[in-house]
Amino acid sequence: MALLVQKYGGSSVADAECMMRVARRVHKTQQEGHEVVVVVSAMGKTTDNLIALAKQVNARPSDREMDMLLSTGEQISVAILAMALHSLGADAVSMTGPQAGIATDDAHTKAKIMAITPDRVRENLDAGRIVIVAGFQGITPAFDIATLGRGGSDTTAVALAAVLKADVCQIFTDVDGVYTTDPRIVPTARKLDEIAYDEMLEMASLGAKVLQSRSVEFAKKYGVVLEVLSSFEETPGTIVREEVKKMEDVVVRGVAADKGQAKVTIQHVPDKPGVAAQVFRKISAARINVDVIVQNVSEQGYTDISFTVPQDDLQRSETAMAGLLEEIGAKGVTYDPEVAKISIVGVGMRTHTGIAERMFGALADNSINIDMISTSEIKVSVVIKRSQADDAVRVLHEAFELSGE
Q: Which residues bind ligand ASP (CB under 6 A)?
A: 9-10, 41-42, 47, 73, 135-136, 150-154
Residue nearer to ligand ASP on the CB measure, 101 or 151: 151
Closest CA to 225 of 249, 241, 201: 241
Instruction: By CB under 5 A, name the one of 4, 5, 6, 9 that touches Mg ion.
Output: 9
Task: Write down the least CB distance from residue 219 to ligand ASP, Å.
Answer: 15
Measured distance CA(40)–CA(380) in Å, rounded:
35
Q: How many CB atoms lie within 10 A of CB 231?
A: 23
172 contact, one of ligand ASP, Mg ion, none, CB 5-8 Å limit per kind: none
In angstroms, give the least distance from the CB of 74 to Mg ion. Answer: 11
Which of ligand ASP, Mg ion, none has residue 47 at its interface (CB below 5 to 8 Å by kind)?
ligand ASP
From Mg ion, ligand ASP, none, interface partner of 152 (C-beta below 5 to 8 A by class): ligand ASP
Neighbouring residues of 132: CB distance < 8 A, sequence distance ≥ 6: 37, 38, 39, 40, 78, 81, 82, 85, 92, 93, 94, 95
CB-facing half-sphere around the CA of 387: CA atoms within 13 A: 3
The site that binds Mg ion (CB under 5 A) totals a number of residues, namely: 3
Is the Cβ of residue 71 or residue 303 nearer to ligand ASP in the bound state? 71
Query: Closest CB to ligand ASP among 28 and 150?
Result: 150
- Residue 328 main-chain phi, psi, to 5 deg: -100, -5
Given ligand ASP, Mg ion, none, residue 73, with its beta carbon under 5 to 8 Å by kind, binds: ligand ASP
Shortest separation between residue 185's beta carbon and Mg ion, angstroms = 22
Residue 348 binding: pick among Mg ion, ligand ASP, none (C-beta 5-8 Å cut-off by kind): none
Other Cβ atoms closer than 10 A to 311: 18
DSSP helix/strand/coil, 6? strand
Site for Mg ion in 35-54 (CB under 5 A): 41
Output the smallest distance, CB 42 to ligand ASP, in A.
Answer: 4
Handedness of CA 167, 172, 176, 177 (dihedral sign): negative
